[in-house]
């Protein structure tokens, strides 16, 4: 069959899509010869490994890092560090399985490979999970920005410290200004590769935050001015046990990036599953170091007073020289990090919403009006959500037990088991690991959801 697409008019997109969508692995119609499953006529030009690593790292390291010191307070240092490593390993395995079967079945999105394995209803469910997960993350980002800049119930905001009380630190107005002035222009970009530079900057800011926290904690440990940390979980009260039930789902949020794996893979220069696996392994290593350093240093600094959003703890005297300057660097730097992370998460959210609502339409990058319309509506809904949800712990414990564990473990395990059986490409060890991920995902989801419900009922009583 002639591989030239120059004779196909732009208006023939829907017909082309119907012929190429969800091609089984043995059909090569309309697929280029590099066997990457992308319907293109030209050469594969996109981001290199470093750009892909920055984008994938940015997808992972966001607001979840702020809750990790509080999980250490619940789990203790030993179990907390062990879970950070184990969840990272399982997450990387699930990403590699997802990449393998997406490439094998020439899927261009998370939803497509789910449909190949489990059918159309499962695809819709997976896309709903992406909407819930990403929307929840973006709401959390705005909550953190509001907490840090305008203050919270027990903590003073940056603007209060700089300018005193006034109309400029009104929480809802401040978040609205951030959304309109800073976030909307970045969210309007149509290609995720366009965000590589901002992703690199956001990773650099996250590293600054981690290094500062680690250095301050190390200084205080050497001086002997920190309390001895707890090494194991606390079972001494009903509240502590409830926190233990919901803290693991919260930790599952930390590594969920699966919704952005396929868009990043699609734009990877010279893409192959092996090359994407290198991206995933480097990213996972970076995230483990960042998460472990942040979780330990944050918990050592604030101990039993560690907040669910540890960033709010940095309004107090740290007991070191230049404490005020360090506080400002940490808080303002991480706010800038979240501003740069926000559009990367929003990209997948917008693409998924478009797929759910406008299936069969031309790509979103070809319709600026539709792209801007979805962006405006999503930003408005996210802003409203940030004004209604009380804190990030509430948001994380529900998304962690539902959408996050589904996207990060349940669907990848089911995809591997189903498509691996069809293609006979899954080894015995990989099949066992897939079953392990599936069982753990179900247990975490059920226990976490029940713990959340019981926790809410206890508070209402």
Per-residue model confidence (pLDDT) at position 98: 92
Per-residue model confidence (pLDDT) at position 7: 43
User: Is 146 part of any domain?
Assistant: yes
Per-residue model confidence (pLDDT) at position 381: 94
CB atoms within 10 A of CB 24: 10
**Domain limits at 148?**
44-240+261-390
Is there a contact between 402 and 445 (Cβ–Cβ < 8 Å)? yes
User: Is 184 part of any domain?
Assistant: yes
Say yes or no to pLDDT of 323 above 60.
yes
Alpha-carbon span 106 to 20, nearest angstrom: 10
CB atoms within 10 A of CB 295: 29
Is there a contact between 41 and 6 (Cβ–Cβ < 8 Å)? yes
The dihedral region occupied by 156, where left means phi > 0, alpha psi between -120 and 50, and beta the remainder, is beta
User: Is 335 part of any domain?
Assistant: yes
Average pLDDT over residues 181-206: 76
Alpha-carbon span 192 to 347, nearest angstrom: 7
Q: Provide the domain count of the chain.
A: 1
- Beta bridge partners of residue 47, listed in sequence order: 268
225-237 pLDDT, tens digit each = 888 888 878 766 6
Per-residue model confidence (pLDDT) at position 461: 53
Average pLDDT over residues 306-320: 82
Say yes or no to pLDDT of 23 above 80.
no
Per-residue model confidence (pLDDT) at position 186: 84
Average pLDDT over residues 179-203: 76
Say yes or no to pLDDT of 57 above 90.
no
Instruction: Take residue 377 and report the two structure tokens written for it.
Output: 């509506």
Per-residue model confidence (pLDDT) at position 3: 42
User: Is 408 part of any domain?
Assistant: no
Q: What pTM, to 2 d.p., does this model score? A: 0.76
User: Is 431 part of any domain?
Assistant: no
Average pLDDT over residues 152-161: 73
User: Is 247 part of any domain?
Assistant: no
Per-residue model confidence (pLDDT) at position 393: 72
User: 456: pLDDT confidence band, cut at 50, 70 and 90?
Assistant: low
421 against 62, higher pLDDT: 421
Give the SS3 label for residue 56.
helix
Average pLDDT over residues 246-270: 82
User: Is 325 part of any domain?
Assistant: yes
CA nearest to 368, candidates 190, 187, 192: 190
Per-residue model confidence (pLDDT) at position 123: 92
Say yes or no to pLDDT of 394 above 80.
no
116-148 pLDDT, tens digit each = 999 999 999 999 998 998 898 899 889 888 888
CA dihedral 32, 37, 39, 41 (to 10 degrees): -30
User: 2: pLDDT confidence band, cut at 50, 70 and 90?
Assistant: very low
User: Is 253 part of any domain?
Assistant: no
SS3 for 271-338 is: CCHHHHHHHHHHHHHHHHHHHHHHHHHHHHHHHHHCCCCHHHHCCCCCCCCCHHHHHHHHHHHHHHHH
Mean confidence (pLDDT) of the chain: 79
Say yes or no to pLDDT of 380 above 90.
yes
């Amino acid at each position: 069959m002639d591989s030239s697409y120059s004779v196909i008019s732009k208006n023939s997109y829907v017909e082309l899509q119907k012929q190429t969508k969800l091609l089984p692995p043995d059909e090569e119609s309309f697929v280029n010869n590099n066997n990457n499953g992308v319907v293109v006529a030209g050469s594969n030009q996109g981001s290199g490994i470093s750009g892909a690593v920055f984008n994938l790292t940015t997808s992972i390291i966001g607001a979840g890092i702020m809750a990790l010191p509080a999980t250490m307070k619940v789990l203790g240092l030993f179990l907390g560090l062990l879970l950070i490593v184990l969840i990272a390993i399982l997450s990387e395995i699930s990403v590699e399985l997802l990449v393998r079967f997406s490439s094998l079945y020439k899927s261009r999105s998370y939803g497509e490979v789910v449909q190949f394995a489990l059918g159309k209803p499962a695809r819709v469910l997976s896309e709903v999970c992406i909407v819930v997960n990403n929307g929840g993350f973006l709401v959390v980002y705005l909550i953190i920005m509001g907490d840090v800049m305008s203050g919270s119930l027990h903590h003073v905001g940056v603007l209060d410290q700089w300018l005193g009380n006034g109309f400029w630190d009104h929480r809802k107005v401040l978040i609205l200004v951030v959304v309109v002035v800073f976030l909307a222009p970045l969210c309007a970009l149509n290609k995720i590769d366009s965000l590589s530079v901002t992703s690199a900057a956001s990773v650099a800011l996250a590293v600054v935050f981690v290094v500062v926290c680690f250095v301050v904690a190390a200084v205080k440990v050497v001086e002997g001015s920190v309390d001895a940390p707890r090494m194991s979980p606390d079972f001494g009260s009903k509240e502590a046990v409830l926190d233990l039930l919901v803290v693991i789902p919260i930790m599952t949020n930390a590594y969920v990036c699966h919704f952005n794996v396929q868009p990043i893979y699609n734009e990877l220069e010279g893409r192959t599953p092996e090359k994407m696996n290198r991206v995933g392994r480097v990213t996972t290593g970076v995230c483990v170091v960042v998460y472990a350093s942040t979780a330990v240093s944050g918990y050592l600094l604030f101990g039993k007073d560690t907040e669910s959003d540890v960033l709010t703890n940095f309004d107090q005297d740290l007991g070191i020289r230049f404490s005020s300057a360090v506080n400002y660097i940490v808080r303002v730097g991480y706010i800038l990090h979240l501003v740069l992370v926000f559009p990367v998460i929003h990209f997948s959210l917008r693409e998924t919403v478009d797929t759910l609502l406008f299936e069969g339409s031309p790509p979103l990058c070809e319709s600026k009006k539709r792209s801007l319309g979805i962006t405006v509506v999503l930003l408005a809904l996210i802003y409203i959500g940030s004004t209604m949800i009380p804190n990030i712990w509430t948001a994380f414990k529900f998304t962690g037990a539902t959408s996050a564990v589904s996207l990060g473990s349940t669907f990848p395990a089911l995809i591997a088991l189903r498509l691996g059986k069809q293609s006979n490409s899954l080894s015995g060890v990989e099949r066992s690991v897939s079953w392990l991920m599936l069982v753990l995902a179900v247990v975490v989801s059920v226990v976490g959801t029940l713990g959340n419900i019981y926790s809410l009922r206890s508070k209402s009583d």
